[in-house]
C-alpha cells in the first residue's frame, strides 16, 4: 500500500515537472502568452545581456552601417555601470527593453519580487531614454510562472538564433535562413567563449544580405 502510494506520488511529481517545463520553455505552445514571430513582417533584431563597453559600441557601428534598428534587452546591473551606453543606443534610434536586473532565471522567482525588479529597471531606463520599456525577455527564455508579474510589458522570446552563445565560429559561419516575421536573438554582452561576438557581427552581415528590412520590435 505504502509502496503504491510512493510510486503514485513519484509519477505525479514527474508529470507536474514535465507540465511545468512545457509551460516555461521558450518554444512551448502553452503557458503565458509569448511573441516568437511578428506577422507584420520584417526581421526583428534583438540583443540580450548588454550593455557592454567593448561590444555594444561595435554592434552600434555595425547596425548603423547596414541601416538596421534593434531592440536591446538590457540587464539592470549593467545599466547601472554603463548608463552612457544605454543613452547611446537610444540616441541611435534603438529600443531599450527589459531582460532583468541580473541574468537570474525568472522561472521560479516570486511574482511580487519580479514585478518590483521590472518596475525598478523600467524607471531607470525611462530616466535615461525618456521612453518606458514595452517588452520583456526572461533570461534563458524561460518564462515566469505568472504573466501578471510582468504587466504591462509584453513577453517575447525568439524564432531565429545565430548561436552566438557560447559561439565558437568566425565571421564566415553559415547561419539559418531568416524569414519575414522572424524575431532574431543576438547578444552584445560579454562572453568568455572564443569567437562568440565574431559570430554576432557575422550574423548581422548575413542578415543585411537578405531582402528583408531589419527593424526593432516596436516598429510597424
Q: What are phi and psi of 152, to 5 degrees?
A: -95, 15
Give the integer Cα–Cα distance in Å for 164 and 195. 8
Q: Is 48 a catalytic residue?
A: yes
Cα angle at 146 between 118 and 109, to 5 degrees? Answer: 60
Q: Is 25 a catalytic residue?
A: no
- Helices 196-208/56-66 angle, 10° precision: 10
Sign of the dihedral through C-alpha 197, 27, 218, 129: negative
Catalytic residue among 48, 52, 164, 188: 48
Q: What are phi and psi of 74, to 5 degrees?
A: -100, 160
Catalytic residue among 99, 164, 187, 188: 187
Show which residues are catalytic.
48, 187
Amino acid at each position: 500500500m505504502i509502496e503504491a502510494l510512493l510510486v503514485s506520488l513519484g509519477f505525479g511529481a514527474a508529470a507536474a515537472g514535465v507540465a511545468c517545463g512545457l509551460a516555461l520553455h521558450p518554444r512551448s505552445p502553452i503557458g503565458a502568452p509569448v511573441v516568437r514571430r511578428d506577422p507584420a513582417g520584417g526581421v526583428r533584431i534583438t540583443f540580450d545581456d548588454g550593455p557592454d563597453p567593448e561590444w555594444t559600441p561595435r554592434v552600434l557601428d555595425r547596425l548603423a552601417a547596414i541601416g538596421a534598428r534593434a531592440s536591446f534587452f538590457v540587464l539592470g546591473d549593467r545599466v547601472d555601470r554603463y548608463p552612457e551606453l544605454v543613452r547611446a543606443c537610444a540616441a541611435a534610434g534603438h529600443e531599450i527593453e527589459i531582460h532583468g536586473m541580473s541574468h537570474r532565471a525568472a522561472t521560479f522567482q516570486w511574482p511580487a519580487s519580479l514585478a518590483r525588479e521590472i518596475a525598478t529597471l523600467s524607471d531607470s531606463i525611462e530616466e535615461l531614454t525618456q521612453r518606458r520599456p514595452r517588452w520583456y525577455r526572461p533570461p534563458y527564455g524561460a518564462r515566469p510562472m505568472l504573466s501578471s508579474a510582468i504587466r504591462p510589458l509584453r513577453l517575447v522570446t525568439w524564432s531565429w538564433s545565430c548561436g552566438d552563445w557560447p559561439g565558437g565560429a568566425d565571421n564566415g559561419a553559415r547561419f539559418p535562413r531568416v524569414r519575414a516575421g522572424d524575431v532574431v536573438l543576438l547578444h552584445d554582452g560579454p562572453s568568455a567563449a572564443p569567437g562568440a561576438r565574431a559570430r554576432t557581427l557575422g550574423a548581422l552581415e548575413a542578415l543585411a544580405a537578405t531582402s528583408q528590412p531589419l527593424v526593432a520590435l516596436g516598429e510597424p
